């Protein structure tokens, strides 16, 4: 399996390292032509404004939208989740609009409010998942075929799936727990 | 307060080492731009900056003004924080832990304990582990980087020579750090303690770098970046990302130059793109030859 990791800006190297641990071919993607022949794509954490502008300038926006609608499996973490969304709380980022979710950016506040917590994610089994939230967004609403996979105690949605699209408000790539990436690979392979 | 209840209910732990170093990881491959007004900050965000550094004056103006340079007026910092949604950093003087406390109270996302401002303490840097907000610090070589990390810096940058538009010192410092790492990896285990003594760096961090072959935190380039090619040069030398101080808003066309430097940082391995984005940028900031600067006016030698 060949998984591309969008490398415009952000923590793409961490995702590539995890994919290689899972023995999957992982390729950085900076140009539209590098999207060809992929079995899946990861949009990493970083600054969604910065990633969004670089995607637009280098003609990745339209191509990723097209591939997503054609069924390419995509995982978005933090900024990546913001970009997959259809609606965002502010106007600084123009999302791809491929997942039927509404996002609130920087929903907990500034960096001093960034936090770690244990998450219950039923699709990954009973063992809690280490949630690392950095200036994180939340999912305010999931509509249509989008389904919330994990919530904080106050009800805020922090992970969602819509067919082969997967999104997390937290950073599985900053932990040594491989289950979230394995879950994405299972979706990409049609096993889940 | 709503946020406090939420934290208690969810068992949310703030200010951890992972979230401090993690924010720096999210900035990688990006450009952090110095800004002095909300209008600058907006331009920087539009150009694709991954964060901004809120200042009263850019380093070139600090250098020209002389005297004592201090933390910026909080009014300026707050106005910039209100204007953009990307992270906002601000500088405190070396060793001035009360300026750092004030910046933390304002809610800035990262504190730069910076040699660009006049040091408040010539013997001690801020003990950065005491803060929930992460710090970035400058360095000239690996030993200095590890001393700052030992004090709690969650991100490192080269010092370079700020406000000169001259990349030579940033190159020197990046090569010193990366070369130092390479030598440490090749050093046998039983010689690490002697190396730690010689470098004046904490043994545990020396041993960690020997083992993992890189710094345990993100390492940016700073101090003299003025062109897209400068940014790509630092990336090819091993930087994780780039700070641009005076280089953008002291140039004739900040919008275009800012965007070009952002694109060159992403596509640093692609000479065709670097050539393309380097076209028609207008005048770069005026540069200074380091050799013409009197020793006592060099910023990089502040701190240890």
Quickly list DSSP for B259-273: HHHHHHHHTTT-HHH
Distance CA A1, CA A147 (A): 26
Q: Name the one residue in this structure whose structure tokens are 């040091």.
A: B119
| C-alpha torsion B124→B129→B130→B135, nearest 10 | 80
Helices (H), B159-266: 168-186, 192-199, 203-212, 228-236, 246-249, 254-266
What is the mean predicted confidence (pLDDT) over B49-58? 96
Q: Name the one residue in this structure whose structure tokens are 């929930």.
A: B132
Residue pair A84/A98 in contact by the 8 Å Cβ criterion? yes
pLDDT at B4 over 90: no
- Quote the pLDDT of residue B1: 39
Count of other CB atoms within 10 angstroms of residue B213:
11
- Quote the pLDDT of residue B7: 60
What is the largest distance, in Å, between two alpha-carbon atoms of chain B? 60
Cα distances (Å, whole numbers) of residue A26 to A12, A14, B26, B34: 10, 11, 19, 34
Distance CA B75, CA B80 (A): 9
Burial of B65 (0-12, 13-18, 19+ CB in 10 A): exposed
Tokens of B224: 């003299």
Please answer yes or no on whether A9 and B133 come within 8 Å at the CB atom.
no
Burial of B37 (0-12, 13-18, 19+ CB in 10 A): middle
What is the mean predicted confidence (pLDDT) over B162-172? 96
Residue pair B243/B32 in contact by the 8 Å Cβ criterion? yes
Tens of pLDDT, residue by residue over B196-217, are 999 999 999 999 999 999 999 9
Best CA proximity match to A48, nearest among B266, B26, B53, B39: B26
Tokens of A144: 């249509």
- Mapped onto helix, strand or coil, the DSSP state of residue A130 is strand
- Quote the pLDDT of residue B8: 58
Interface contact A114, partner B, CB < 8 A: yes
Please answer yes or no on whether A109 and B3 come within 8 Å at the CB atom.
yes
How far is A167 from chain B, CA to nearest CA, in Å?
17
From the candidates B20, B91, B128, B250, give the one annotated as an active-site residue.
B91
The sheet carrying B13-14 orders its strands as: A129-133, A115-119, B13-14
Distance CA B168, CA B268 (A): 18
Which of A31, A47, A77 to substitute to test the interface with B, most B CBs within 10 Å? Answer: A47
Tens of pLDDT, residue by residue over A73-111, are 999 999 999 999 999 988 889 999 999 999 999 999 999
Count of other CB atoms within 10 angstroms of residue B212:
11
How far is B191 from chain A, CA to nearest CA, in Å?
30
Tokens of A88: 């965002």
- Quote the pLDDT of residue A12: 98
Q: Binning pLDDT at 50, 70 and 90, where does residue B36 land?
A: very high
- Compare B130 and B10 and report the one with higher pLDDT: B130
How far is A191 from chain B, CA to nearest CA, in Å?
31
What is the mean predicted confidence (pLDDT) over A100-124? 97
Best CA proximity match to B150, nearest among B222, B208, B192: B208
What is the mean predicted confidence (pLDDT) over B49-73? 94
What is the mean predicted confidence (pLDDT) over A161-168? 98
pLDDT at B186 over 60: yes
Residue pair A44/A77 in contact by the 8 Å Cβ criterion? yes
Tokens of A62: 């339209």
Q: Binning pLDDT at 50, 70 and 90, where does residue B11 land?
A: confident
Read off the pTM: 0.97
- For residue B106, list chain A residues with Cβ-Cβ distance below 8 A: none
Distance CA B110, CA B15 (A): 12
Interface contact A116, partner B, CB < 8 A: yes
How far is B249 from chain A, CA to nearest CA, in Å?
19
Tell me the pLDDT of chain A averaged across its residues. 97
What is the mean predicted confidence (pLDDT) over A155-183? 98
> Which backbone phi and psi does A144 adopt, to 5 degrees?
60, -130
Tens of pLDDT, residue by residue over A4-30, are 999 999 999 999 999 999 999 999 999
Residue pair A120/A136 in contact by the 8 Å Cβ criterion? no
Please answer yes or no on whether A50 and B13 come within 8 Å at the CB atom.
no
Q: For chain B, how are helix, strand and coil distributed in percent, rounded to 5?
A: 50, 10, 40
CATH class of A2-188: alpha beta
Domain ranges of chain A: 2-188
Tokens of B162: 């700020």
Residue pair B241/B29 in contact by the 8 Å Cβ criterion? yes
CA angle B175, B177, B179 (to 5 degrees): 60
Please answer yes or no on whether A7 and B266 come within 8 Å at the CB atom.
yes
Q: Name the one residue in this structure whose structure tokens are 């990262």.
A: B110
pLDDT at B260 over 90: yes
Helices (H), A58-170: 60-69, 79-84
Instruction: Round the CA-based radius of gyration of chain A to a whole number and report it.
Output: 15
- Quote the pLDDT of residue B9: 57
- Quote the pLDDT of residue B10: 61
Q: Which residues are CB-contacts of B177 (< 8 A; sequence separation ≥ 6)?
A: B139, B141, B142, B145, B156, B158, B215, B219, B238
- For residue B46, list chain A residues with Cβ-Cβ distance below 8 A: 53
Q: Between A and B, how many CB-CB pairs are < 8 A?
A: 140
| C-alpha torsion A139→A140→A145→A150, nearest 10 | 50
Tell me the pLDDT of chain B averaged across its residues. 95
| Nearest chain A alpha carbon to B266 | A8
pLDDT at B225 over 60: yes
Whole-complex ipTM: 0.97
What is the mean predicted confidence (pLDDT) over B162-186? 97
pLDDT at B2 over 50: no
């Amino acid at each position: 399996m060949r998984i591309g990791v969008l490398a415009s800006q952000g923590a793409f190297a961490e995702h590539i390292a995890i994919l290689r641990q899972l023995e999957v071919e992982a390729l950085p993607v900076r140009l539209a032509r590098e999207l060809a022949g992929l079995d899946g794509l990861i949009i990493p954490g970083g600054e969604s404004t910065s990633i969004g502008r670089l995607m637009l300038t280098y003609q990745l926006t339209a191509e990723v939208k097209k591939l997503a609608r054609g069924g390419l499996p995509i995982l978005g973490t933090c900024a990546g989740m913001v970009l997959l969304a259809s609606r965002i709380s502010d106007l600084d980022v123009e999302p791809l609009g491929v997942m039927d979710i509404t996002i609130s950016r920087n929903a907990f506040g500034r960096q001093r409010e960034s936090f770690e917590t244990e998450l219950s994610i039923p699709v990954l089994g009973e063992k809690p998942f280490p949630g690392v939230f950095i200036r994180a967004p939340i999912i305010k609403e999931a509509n249509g075929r989008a389904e919330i996979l994990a919530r904080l105690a106050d009800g805020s949605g922090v992970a969602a799936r819509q067919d082969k699209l997967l999104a997390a408000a937290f950073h599985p790539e900053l932990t040594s727990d491989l289950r979230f990436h394995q879950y994405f690979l299972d979706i990409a392979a049609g096993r889940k | 307060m709503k946020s406090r209840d939420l934290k208690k209910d969810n068992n949310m732990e703030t200010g951890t080492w992972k979230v401090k170093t993690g924010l720096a990881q999210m900035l990688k491959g990006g450009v952090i731009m110095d800004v002095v007004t909300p209008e600058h900050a907006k331009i920087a965000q539009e150009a694709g900056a991954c964060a901004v550094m809120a200042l009263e004056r850019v380093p070139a103006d600090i250098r020209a003004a002389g005297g004592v340079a201090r933390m910026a007026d909080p009014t300026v910092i707050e106005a910039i924080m209100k204007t953009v949604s990307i992270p906002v950093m601000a500088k405190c003087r070396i060793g001035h832990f009360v300026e750092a406390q004030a910046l933390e109270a304002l809610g800035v996302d990262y504190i730069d304990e910076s040699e660009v401002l006049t040091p408040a303490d010539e013997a001690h840097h801020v003990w950065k582990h005491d803060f929930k907000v992460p710090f970035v610090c400058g360095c000239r070589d690996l030993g200095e980087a590890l001393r700052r990390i030992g004090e709690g810096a969650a991100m490192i940058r080269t010092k370079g020579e700020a406000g000169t538009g001259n990349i030579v010192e940033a190159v020197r410092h990046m090569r010193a750090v990366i070369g130092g790492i390479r030598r440490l990896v090749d050093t046998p285990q039983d010689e690490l303690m002697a190396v730690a003594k010689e470098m004046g760096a904490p043994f545990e961090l020396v041993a960690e770098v020997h083992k993992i072959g890189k710094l345990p935190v993100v390492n940016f380039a700073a101090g003299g970046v003025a062109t897209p090619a400068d940014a790509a040069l630092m990336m090819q030398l091993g930087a994780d990302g780039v700070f641009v101080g005076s280089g953008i808003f002291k140039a004739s066309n900040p919008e275009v130059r800012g965007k070009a430097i952002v694109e060159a940082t992403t596509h640093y391995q692609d000479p065709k793109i670097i050539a393309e984005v380097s076209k028609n940028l207008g005048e770069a900031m005026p540069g200074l030859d380091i050799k013409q600067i009197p020793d006592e006016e060099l910023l990089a030698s502040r701190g240890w």
